[in-house]
Structures are given as structure tokens and as C-alpha cells.
Amino acid sequence: MLNDHVFEASRVRTISASSQAIWDVLADFGALSSWVDGVDHSSVLNDGPGGTLLGTSRRVQVGRNVLVERITEAEPPVRLCYEITGLPKQLRYVANRWTLRPAGDATLVRVTSIVEIGANPLSRIAERLVCRLATKQSDAMLTGLTRRMESAHA
């Protein structure tokens, strides 16, 4: 918990691949569905100004739910952050931040979900639910990324 209205939840995994190789998968922003189970479809909606990664957005379909994710930070091959829209309006701001840190021949990968909520009691209940869902989704993304990197090096 950062303050009364913002929550962060992180998951970390060491993956046997270089930071650059992992970055290349994360930066292929429209290909999320190729490595994350449960994501039915993903595609780039638009590139950032001048073709840069910053500002690039993608459409993500999970079941009947459609999300739009837009890159707000990009520091290759260290950090990628994107905000997520299309969630219930009680969630004022939701984002995921990926950070990569070399660890010998491997990379320490951290995905942090950031959720800004309201201050009313219903928002507090939603916070608990969102935190559980965010950590489950982070685990699924890390599992998919690990599987993708292991199959690339097999």
C-alpha cells in the first residue's frame, strides 16, 4: 500500500535469459496473447509518436472483456510500464510496471501492479479483490514469459 488510495502488488521471478531477450518479448507489445495463457487476443492499436514504444497502445481480449493498454514508460532493457483502461470505473488508475535486472546469466523480472482506488467502503472491498486478481494475473504473465524464454533457448 502506498497511501490511502493507491496499492502496489509485485511478483518476482528469475528467468534464465538475458535482459535484452526478455525486453524484446515485452516490447513486442501486440504479441501478449502468444505467451500469456488466458489472453484470447492482443494487437497493437497504434504506435507511439514517430514509431516510438512510448505511447504505443494495444487491445487485449480476455474472454468477453476488452482492455486497452498504453505504454507510459519505456527504458530499454530495464523498465516498461503501461496503464490499463476498460476496467470497472471504481478503479481510477491501473497499471503494470515490468522491471528487469541482470542476475548473472539470468534476469530478475518484477511485475508490479499499481491500482488507485476511491476512499469509500465499497472501494476498499474492490481493492482486496483487485489485489488478488492482479497477483494471479502477474503470476500467469511471469509463467508465460518464463515458458516463452525457455522454449526460445531450448
User: What does each of the 154 residues of the chain score in pLDDT, given as a tens digit?
Assistant: 445 567 888 999 999 999 999 999 999 999 999 999 999 999 999 999 999 999 999 999 999 999 999 999 999 999 999 999 998 777 788 899 999 999 999 999 999 998 887 777 777 677 667 777 888 999 999 999 999 998 876 5
Residue 1: per-residue pLDDT? 44
Residue 11 · residue 139 · CB < 8 Å: yes
